[in-house]
């Protein structure tokens, strides 16, 4: 039975947005959880409704936009976690390089007859590794720019 205000006429609710029930929300979460294998047909089969009903739910409650928003949030979170993890790994590698550099210096101090050439090559590799981990260039390239003018010079 339709609701009636004080004037006795029924209220037309067709223009009001529909309320998403727990069942429809569950279908949405299921649909999102399907990931790249998501189809409205699978939603219909899982929730005992036709594909048309699942399509109506999707359109009425903006599933496509909501899933895009949710996927974006998850992607941003995963990207941030990856950056944090890379920073932790880089920090650990820098500590290892620092430790090895210290040990090499101590070795050279303790072993005066050690091959300085090999030790310096090891040191160079350690320094390059350290620079790479700090996002610094490992090589210095000297570039000169020569300007050639098509206009003759007026200087004598």
CA–CA separation, 33 and 113 (whole Å):
66
- Token duo for residue 128: 């390059």
CA–CA separation, 107 and 118 (whole Å):
12
Kindly report the pTM of this predicted structure.
0.52
The answer to whether 47 touches 23, Cβ cutoff 8 Å, is: yes
CA–CA separation, 114 and 55 (whole Å):
76
DSSP 139: S
For the chain, give me the number of helices (H) and strands (E)?
5, 0
pLDDT tens for the chain, 156 residues long, are 455 555 666 655 555 457 889 999 999 999 999 999 999 999 999 999 999 999 999 999 999 999 999 999 999 999 999 999 988 988 898 888 888 888 888 887 888 776 666 777 887 888 888 888 888 877 777 777 777 767 766 765
């Amino acid at each position: 039975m339709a609701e009636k205000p004080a004037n006795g006429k029924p209220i037309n609710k067709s223009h009001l947005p529909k309320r998403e029930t727990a069942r429809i929300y569950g279908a949405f979460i299921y649909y999102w959880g399907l990931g790249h294998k998501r189809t409205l047909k699978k939603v219909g089969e899982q929730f005992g409704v036709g594909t048309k009903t699942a399509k109506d739910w999707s359109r009425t409650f903006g599933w496509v936009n909501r899933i895009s928003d949710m996927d974006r949030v998850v992607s941003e979170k995963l990207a941030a976690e990856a950056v944090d993890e890379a920073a932790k790994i880089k920090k650990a590698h820098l500590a290892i390089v620092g430790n090895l550099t210290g040990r090499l210096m101590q070795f050279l101090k303790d072993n005066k007859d050690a091959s300085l050439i090999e030790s310096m090559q090891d040191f160079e590799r350690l320094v390059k590794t350290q620079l790479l981990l700090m996002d610094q260039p490992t090589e210095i390239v000297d570039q000169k720019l020569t300007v050639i003018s098509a206009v003759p010079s007026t200087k004598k």
